[in-house]
Structure 1
Amino acid sequence: MRPLASRGQPKSSRLAQARAIQNKVILVSLLIVPFLLVFGMELIQRGNVQETWDWLTANPKLFAVNALLAFFVFLLIYCLIGSLFFAMGFSTLLLMLMSLISFFKQKLIGEPFFPWDIFLKKESMNIIPLVTSKEALVRLVLVFGISAGIFLLRIWLPRWPMKLWVRMTLGLMAVLALYSFGVRAPWAEKVMAQAGVNEIVWNQQQNYGENGISLAFTMNVKNSIVPKPSGYSELSIANMAEGLNELVGASKASVSNDKKPNVIFIMNEAFWDPTLLPGVKFNKDPLPTVHRLQKKTTSGYLLSPQFGGGTSNVEFEVLTGQSMSNLPAGSIPYQQYIRKPIPSLASYFKNQGYRSVAIHSYDGWFWNREEVYQYMGFDDFKSKEDFDNPEYRGAFISDDEVSRSIIDEVEANDNPTFIYAVTMENHGPYNDNRYGETDIKVEGNLTEEARNTLQTYAQGVYNADHSLKMLIDHFEKSDEPTVIVFYGDHLPMLGYDYDVYVQSGFVSTGRSDQWSLEEQKRIHSVPFVMWSNMDLPKEHVPILSNSFLNAYVLDRLQMEKPAAWAYNFELSRKVPGLLRGLVVDSGQVLYNSPPSSVASDVEKYRELQYDEMFGGQYLAKYLDSNGFTRSDEQPDGFDHVNIASEEEVDAAQ
């Protein structure tokens, strides 16, 4: 029944009154909801109300800019859906899930949620086993519960739509506003400048923490486009080419005429030396083979651009000689940038008369490897699908199985073989008790959960070490010269917030943005060893970026280095360690950024990388020899490797 006060009112008056109420509710919602959304997003990130309140009261302008962005997202969804409370529910669900993803990603691998993470396909499902803890489930239930509650309001409250022309106008305005912030249009830059925005590109965890997740995420949209170096031009590359030709000439003079060796790179998943943890003891050496090789052969430490994940980025650096430090923070070249043939170790060895083969004991689609490996020039790719009745340990194919596959591939080829193998057995998480009773036992001042995690990881490392011994034992008896380069892609993720590392005293805090440069170096340094049945002199390498490893190995083998890698090798003598936010010079002195003495050399490196990946590829035009087999055509694809058994060969004959 209508209220008495309204019974005598004309219908037009009642409609006008209803519209006025509707407009007020819409206006109040559009003004208040964005601030509540930002508060909720930041609460998820910071973990408690007090820290969230301290941030927004200390940074009211930054809070307002984050709310402005949330407003445009809310407005756009409202204009698309046409229902106020449905739009409110979808906005809450979308932005809270975005904050949750960023929260868990930072806890696991120290990186927030980036715009390009949206384009991850099935790779993103790989994180699900890592976020099934009680803490994770509580947050997920709260987000979905609040969103569902807002959706249910629609049952009792009106739809409160807008007229079509208003929706189209405001929706277009919202799109243009979000686009302007993403590309940094002048007016958006002015707004951010007045708000005191300080973008911290080199430390994205700090960037998100200081500026707020909505604003930091939006600022990174522009960073998905790799900017052209200020000095880059065809003339600058032509000038560099003259000096690079001389480096290549010097490299040619030292090429050995001996029989070409098989070259095997093994990137072992999360391989690291847990005996480096202070205050932790093991009942037996988890790395007997590696520790023996460290005393007898060339060995050292590689500076990985990753921690806890992002294996493909390490592959990218090793195979191409390009550096992640020259690309936007958090980017994934395999997914974003490699859309055409690119020089790599595979194409280099192929040009030297080798057969280039990739082996990976996981799904071929992961990180887009099936496509990328073709662009890199591999002849064949053996992925999980191509292993015949493989041995598993836990959820993954064993490292021993990968070693057997490497041996089979080398034995099956008449030509010298280049193999790039990637293992999976010791992939995290490590709280699954995958081995049951372990050979390796851990003692130390650790919680029971941390001890179990470390024991599982250490057992995986022990198995990886054994798989390396299998290869060495085989090729020691072989009359084919063979070189094995064995290393890890990154340190393992041992619990939330670097739990095991903090408990053992390896780092001082679970906040990576508070680490010293020495701690950053420590958490990114993985061991590598080189073994050969040839007579190669021993050398100790204190630190070397993954992007310089290919040039270093070619130099050790006295093989001609392509021009760009010859430059990399010379640069590595001045700056052996080069990460975003961490630079190590030849004297092992640590810096936040390249010191002035080598800044111009590092900038040339950046120009050469830009030229190859995004520019005009001028370098190849001005070189006497490039050292690679190059093709501008799309790759035709390759058949997956399938080693035939003796019975199958006999049957075919």
Structure 2
Amino acid sequence: MIGLPILSVVGMEFLERGSWHETMHWISTNHPLFLLNVVLTFCLLALIYAIVGSLAISGSIATLILGLMAIISYMKVKMIGEPFFPWDILLNKESMDIATLVTGKAALIRIIAVAAVIILVLLLRWVIPRVTIPIIARIGLGLFSLYALYAFGIKSPLAGKILDHAGVNEIVWDQQQNYANNGLTLAFTLNVKNSIVQKPDTYNETAIASVATNIQATAAKAPEVKSAKLSAGKKPNVIFVMSEAFWDPTLLTNVTYSEDPLPTIHRLQKEAGNAGYLLSPQYGGGTSNVEFEVLTGNSMSFLPGGSIPYQQYISKPLPSLASYFANQGYKSMGIHSYEGWFWDRNTVYKELGFQSFKSSEKFVNPEIKGYFISDAEVARNVNSEVDKTEDPMFIYTVTMQNHGPYDDPRYGENTIKATGSGLSAQAKSILETYTQGAHDADASLQMMIDHFKDSDEPTMIIFYGDHLPMLGMDYQVYKEAGFISTSNANQWSLDEIKKMHSTPLVTWSNFDMPKQENPVTSASFLGAHVLDMLGMEKPANFTLDGELAQQIPGLLSNLVVDADGQLQAKAPESLAPLINDYRNVQYDLMFGKQFLANYIDHDYLTKGSQPDYNAEFGATGIAAKSEAQGSEDAKPASAQ
């Protein structure tokens, strides 16, 4: 019971770090932290033993749990730069669905190694003498172990003293570094308390009342925004298109292409005064977190690193762009070309105030390209929904076609070829497959522009990527192409952090719209920016977003971009009061007592979900889908 936890911690750190040298260096230079990891692992083993009663079986179960943790954390870090968190356990269907797309030699070797150790531990039943502990002692051991795990999970006062004495430094804002410093078992346990967002020290009704007064004063003294020029007073359709993993591969300076892969984006960047870059809180995954920032105006910077609001926090109505536009007489619809359960969108969209949500189950006979519904099919659905709806529409669109991985040439023969002296054959193949998909996304934007450019319905399209694509393990393509200096994200410069979190952002409209220069816009500030472009009055939380965006248009947990484009690791102290207001309002709306609604925008801030949510996709929609599926099955294979 002492030896197995020691070996387990060594094995877990080796599996997760991927280097024996790094593992031994961490152990040799962090004896107290290594010991804490062993203690926690011992408590897990003792708890299982207290329940099971067989040391060999308990050791096998503990090894399975810890081995899976290490493998998952290793793969997550390699794919998206984030380790394994307690709340990842909630991602049951999502994890299994994406796991089928992730294979590789490294993962297979680790799985075989863990399986071998489990078998070895089981075989020890015939070697180690059986020891029987009285039931009372087992219960006592189990209760002690459970309490110890609980105490470290919530960081009780006694556990806090132990952690301080051991020199534990919890780096919540940089979880990869947090796990690297403290060890997988300890960092994972400490993150349990982060599943619940702590109330800010400055949050109370008096503070929120002061924020409301400041918001009203800001709105009163703000210069009049030049409204969009619309004919006959028509309200414009507002279409957000968040394109999966969309990025500009021509930014790889050491790579050239056989043709321009993004002609539409590049044309709009030259023509429009409303083109720039979206600063995303994510890399390689976590689409719903970008969606959360754009729709609510809230920031991931104030939530635990690696958390997923859609899965963890949104269980009641939360004001968003969807509910705001619904209040303005719009039909608000979400469109996503993947299954509605993913990231709990079916339920979350209801809480965000959408009237309807058209997920892949509601698409009729969709075109598939690669693994998923094509971006062209999504464009056709957007065009169709606008055409058949009398009211002006707010549509939030999320595509899926170019979701990773890009290891297989899933589009067949790629028409766009990449050339780079530093690219390996594998990196070249990955890049060309990704670029082909990005080209299709660009073409889908042009399809929507062509559809609406001569329409008598005023329409605005906001098009951007949710995050940079994961182009190989350990940022392989970016490193080989010279886009970043190292595959160790902890060693990136501020400029590299900015580059690895910036996706193209363009807007287009078929009516005259005032031009605004916004080179960089955080996803959480995009909603306020769009409302300003449309000349629409901003609700309270988006007014606060707009005020902060004037000072720091780019805000991530580890990067701030000020109004002059200067980069800093954290916001200047002079902006602390405004940032505290932003944090307090976010807490008030998501977790607090909704004090803000007592002082301003009560109807918008307290609006419930739409009573007829998704009524249009009820029995009729299901029947239509079944009929379409029957027609699809009747097609010859070549047509499908």
Match of 2:202 in 1: 231
Alpha-carbon distance in 2 for matches of 1:261, 1:408:
16
After superposition, what is the alpha-carbon deviation per residue over 1:316-352, rounded to whole angstroms, capped at 9, x for unaligned? 0000000000111000000000010011111000000
**Structure 2 residue aligned with 1:173:** 144
Q: Which 10-residue stretch deviates more, 283-292 or 532-541?
A: 532-541
In structure 1, distance between residues paired with 2:550 and 2:168: 38
Deviation per CA, 1:57-94: give whole Å up to 9, x if none: 11111110111111101110111111010011111111
1:437 corresponds in structure 2 to 413
Measured at CA, do residues 131 and 408 of structure 1 come closer, stay the same or move farther in structure 2, by a change above 3 Å? closer
Residue 493 of structure 1 corresponds to 470
Query: 1:193: Cα distance to partner?
Result: 1.2
CA contact (8 A) 2:248 2:504 kept: yes
2:390 maps to which residue? 414
The TM-score, its normalising length taken from structure 2, stands at 0.93
CA distance, structure 2, for counterparts of residue 251 and residue 471 of structure 1: 34
CA contact (8 A) 2:264 2:442 kept: yes
Residues 54 and 643 of structure 1, relative CA distance in 2, 3 Å threshold: closer
Larger radius of gyration: 1
Contact 1:322/1:547, CA 8 A, preserved across alignment: yes
For residue 206 of structure 1, the aligned residue among 174, 177, 194 is: 177
| Bigger Cα displacement from structure 2, 431-440 vs 527-536 | 431-440
Give 1:48 deviation, angstroms.
2.6
**Deviant stretches of 4+, over 4 Å:** 155-159, 249-257, 632-637, 640-645
Which of 478, 494, 502 in structure 2 is aligned with 1:525?
502
Q: Distance in 2 between matches of 1:138 and 1:644?
A: 46
Distance 1:238 1:301, change over 3 A: same
Given that residues 361 and 424 in structure 1 are in contact (C-alpha distance below 8 angstroms), is that contact kept between their aligned partners in structure 2? yes
Under a length normalisation based on structure 1, what TM-score does the superposition of the two structures give? Answer: 0.92
Q: Tell me the CA shift for residue 426 of structure 1.
A: 0.3
Q: Which amino acid in structure 1 is aligned with residue 470 of structure 2?
A: M
1:333 aligns with 2:309: yes
Alignment of 1:119-138 (within 5 A): 119-138=90-109
In structure 1, C-alpha distance between the alignment counterparts of 2:546 and 2:150, rounded to whole Å: 42
Give SS of 1:132's match. coil
Pair 171,289 (structure 1): closer, same or farther in 2 beyond 3 Å: same
Question: What does 1:504-653 correspond to in 2, within 5 Å?
Answer: 504-623=481-600, 625-626=601-602, 628=604, 630-632=606-608, 637-639=613-615, 641=617, 642=621
Q: Distance in 1 between matches of 2:379 and 2:47?
A: 54
Q: Could you say which residue in structure 1 is the equivalent of 2:55?
A: 84
- Give the Cα–Cα distance (whole angstroms) in 2 for the partners of residues 467 and 575 of structure 1: 32
C-alpha distance 644-37 of structure 1, shift in aligned 2 (>3 A): closer
Distance 2:611 2:129 in 1: 57
Instruction: State the one-letter code of the partner of 1:64.
Output: L
Counterparts in 2 of 1:154 and 1:636: CA distance versus 1, 3 Å: farther
Deviation at 1:588, TM superposition (A): 1.3
Question: Contact 2:335–2:396 (CA<8 Å) still a contact in 1?
Answer: yes
Aligned-partner SS, 1:338: coil
Take 2:486 and 2:335, find their aligned partners in 1: how far apart are those partners? 37
Tell me which of 55, 58, 66 is aligned to 1:95. Answer: 66
Q: Summarize deviations over 1:293-329 as a string: whole Å, max 9, x none.
A: 0111111001000000000000000000000001110
Match of 2:286 among 307, 310, 322: 310
Q: Aligned letter for 2:310?
A: Y
In structure 2, C-alpha distance between the alignment counterparts of 1:633 and 1:462, rounded to whole Å: 37
**How far apart are 1:631 and its partner, in Å?**
3.4
Secondary structure at the aligned position of 1:293 is classed as helix
Q: Deviation digits for residues 472-515 of structure 1, max 9, x if unmatched?
A: 00100101000000000000000000000000010111111111
Structure 2 counterpart of 1:375, from 339, 351, 359 = 351
Deviation at 1:121, TM superposition (A): 1.9
Answer yes or no: is 1:502 the counterpart of 2:479.
yes
- 1:635 positional shift: 5.7
User: In structure 2, how many angstroms separate the alpha carbons of the residues matched to 1:631 and 1:469?
Assistant: 36
Tell me how far apart the structure 1 counterparts of residues 606 and 223 of structure 2 sit (CA, whole Å): 20
Match for 1:403 among 375, 379, 397?
379
1:221-370 matched pairs, under 5 angstroms: 221-249=192-220, 254=225, 258-297=233-272, 298-370=274-346
C-alpha RMSD of the superposition: 1.9
Q: Which amino acid aligns with 2:410?
A: R
Cα deviation, 1:121-161, whole Å, max 9, x if unaligned, reads 20111332454111211111111121122123335655534
Q: For residue 628 of structure 1, give the secondary structure of its aligned residue in structure 2.
A: helix
Matched-pair contact (CA < 8 Å) for 1:353–1:415:
yes
Q: Give the whole-Å Cα distance in 2 for the aligned partners of 1:252 and 1:371.
A: 39
Shift in Å, 1:103: 0.6
Give, as a single letter, the amino acid of the residue that structure 1 aligns with 2:255. V
Shift of residue 640 of structure 1?
5.6
- Partner amino acid, structure 2, of 1:537: P
Match of 2:361 in 1: 385
- Whether the 8 Å contact between 1:582 and 1:590 is mirrored in structure 2 is yes
Q: Does 1:468 align with 2:439?
A: no
Answer yes or no: is the 8 Å Cα contact 1:381–1:640 preserved in 2: no
* Stretch deviating more after TM superposition (625-634 or 369-378): 625-634
Counterpart CA distance in 1 for 2:294 and 2:74 is: 30
SS in 2 for 1:554: helix
Give 1:88's aligned amino acid.
G
Give 3-state SS (helix, strand or coil) of 2:604's partner.
coil
Matches of 2:578 and 2:451, distance apart in 1 = 43
Q: How many Å separate the matches in 1 of 2:131 and 2:336?
A: 55
Cα distance in 2 for partners of 1:410, 1:152 equals 65
Structure 1: gaps of 5 or more residues: 1-29, 649-653
In structure 1, distance between residues paired with 2:339 and 2:431: 26
Work out the CA distance in 1 between the residues paired with 2:93 and 2:622: 28
Is 1:73 the counterpart of 2:50? The answer is no
Letter in 2 for 1:561: K
Q: Distance in 2 between matches of 1:528 and 1:175?
A: 49
Deviations 1:88-111 (A, max 9, x none): 111111111101110110000000
**Percent of aligned pairs with the same residue?**
55
Q: For each residue in 1:500-551, what CA deviation from the matched residue of structure 2 results, as whole angstroms up to 9, or x when unmatched? A: 0000010111111111111101100001100000111333321110000000
- Structure 2 residue runs without a partner (length 5+): 628-640
Match of 1:54 among 15, 18, 25: 25
Contact 2:173 2:304 in 1 (8 A): no
Q: CA deviation at 1:589?
A: 1.4
Instruction: Provide the rounded CA distance (Å) in 1 between the counterparts of 2:112 and 2:423.
Output: 31
Q: Give the Cα separation in 1 of the matches to 2:147 and 2:347.
A: 35
Q: What is the CA distance between 1:162 and its match in structure 2?
A: 2.4
- Write the distance in 1 (CA, Å) between the matches of 2:509 and 2:602: 28
Query: 1:45-65 CA distances to partner (integer Å, 9 max, x unpaired)?
Result: 222322211111111111101
Q: How many residues align?
A: 616
Instruction: Find the residue that maps to 2:536 and give its secondary structure.
Output: coil
